Amino acid sequence: MFASKGRLLDISTESRHGVAIREELEHSLIGQPDAVAFYIRLIEKFRSHLYEAGRPIGSALYTGPTGSGKTFSAEAFAESLQTRVNRSWRHNLARIDCGEFQHSHEIAKLIGSPPGYLGHKETKPMLSGERIQALSTAIMEYPFGILVFDEIEKASDALWQLLLGILDKASVTLGTNEVVNFENTIIIMTSNAGFSNRKDDLGFVPPSLALSEETKRIGLEAAKRKFSVEFINRLDEVVAFNELSRDQIAMILKLELGKLQTEIFTKAVPKTLVTVTPAGQRQLLATGYDAKYNARNIKRTIDREIRTPMARLLGSGQVLGNEGVLVDWDGDKYTFRALPQNNGNFVLHGSKTDKGDIL
């Protein structure tokens, strides 16, 4: 008989490491709770040493419409691990564009050419043991690397076969006969299958994909059509990314303006604080919001309307030391005004001080 009494445990209580990752990701990764939950599970299994030996620490296929944050989420996760050591996320993350591997012979760029083939000694494999080791030792507290295979549906079958071995045995043999170990890596693959142009073999994709279950259904069915059952079964999880609502795009707009604000203040000469008024933000949102491209068009709009004009203003010497720039919309065009940087009109975009409602 099992004991009927004892202290009841609560499996919904996250570890302190999970809580820390959640706080970091929920601030930057908007509207994707399934992805945040996946990263928390990864960290908790890693910290408890309960991941399966002889395989990568974790693996997942991210499905969802373009611009919903699939690749960005991996970058945000990598960066959240490094907040205490002040290093770029590029130290422990490598992104591989699968559009470069549409033909089987191009796999040599990843693992090198075998002996006897042209470029055997000259071609340095992208997945060399040296590189994987560098990724997995970038952070002492989290000794693993993150490999992102972007838009995996574009790759040839040769890459999928290569990944089967990595996902199953955490190893691959290079053209030099070096065996590379992937046990200290997290493998993430992104795919737009089922969402490109709103059409797929499944038929017409509904215009609103805000519900996670609907998004997951479309992504899963498209993935099953595109990839083999053997490939899908090697994955730990398939994570659905939602289409973003207008409210969520507005939040992302503030975060992107905050990034640009930090970049201009830290890199530009003179150091300049740039703030966009609520009217200016509303116009950026009106111009940049596109349900088809999600957050992708917002970044283009900010680059065109704010970053490029600021580069000209700074380059022409119109902004003086200790001056900030206030960007507004006058109903017809954006206006740029130089004001003392201690002026009360300046706020930090994307922070707790940014209370302006732009919807």
CATH of the domain at 304: 1.10.8.60
- 99 vs 5 pLDDT, higher one: 99
Report the pLDDT value the prediction gives residue 121, as an integer from 0 to 100: 60
CATH of the domain at 43: 3.40.50.300
Residue 259 banded pLDDT, cuts 50, 70, 90 = very high
Residue 187 banded pLDDT, cuts 50, 70, 90 = very high
Same domain, 23 and 70: yes
155-168 pLDDT per residue, tens: 988 898 899 999 99
Same domain, 292 and 174: no
CA-based max dimension of the chain = 82
Same domain, 216 and 281: no
Report the pLDDT value the prediction gives residue 118, as an integer from 0 to 100: 57
Residue 293 banded pLDDT, cuts 50, 70, 90 = confident
Report the pLDDT value the prediction gives residue 151, as an integer from 0 to 100: 93
Report the pLDDT value the prediction gives residue 208, as an integer from 0 to 100: 47
Report yes or no on 5 lying in a domain. Answer: no
Residue 254 confidence (pLDDT) above 60? yes
**29: burial class by Cβ within 10 Å (0-12, 13-18, 19+)?**
buried
The domain of 277 spans 246-340
Same domain, 170 and 252: no
Residue 284 confidence (pLDDT) above 50? yes
Report yes or no on 351 lying in a domain. Answer: no
Same domain, 260 and 214: no
State the average pLDDT for the chain.
86
Task: List own/partner pairs for 137-143 with CB under 8 A and 24 or more apart.
Answer: 138/82, 138/87, 138/91, 138/92, 139/81, 139/82, 139/85, 139/87, 139/91, 139/92, 141/81, 141/84, 142/46, 142/81, 142/92, 143/184
The average pLDDT across 42-57 equals 92
* Secondary structure of residue 39 in the 3-state scheme: helix
What is the number of domains present in the chain?
2
Report yes or no on 24 lying in a domain. Answer: yes
Q: What is the pTM of this model?
A: 0.86
104-130 pLDDT per residue, tens: 888 888 988 766 555 556 667 899 999
194-206 pLDDT per residue, tens: 776 544 433 334 4
Same domain, 252 and 200: no
Same domain, 235 and 297: no
Q: What percent of the chain stands above pLDDT 70? A: 87
DSSP run (H or E) holding 36: helix 33-48
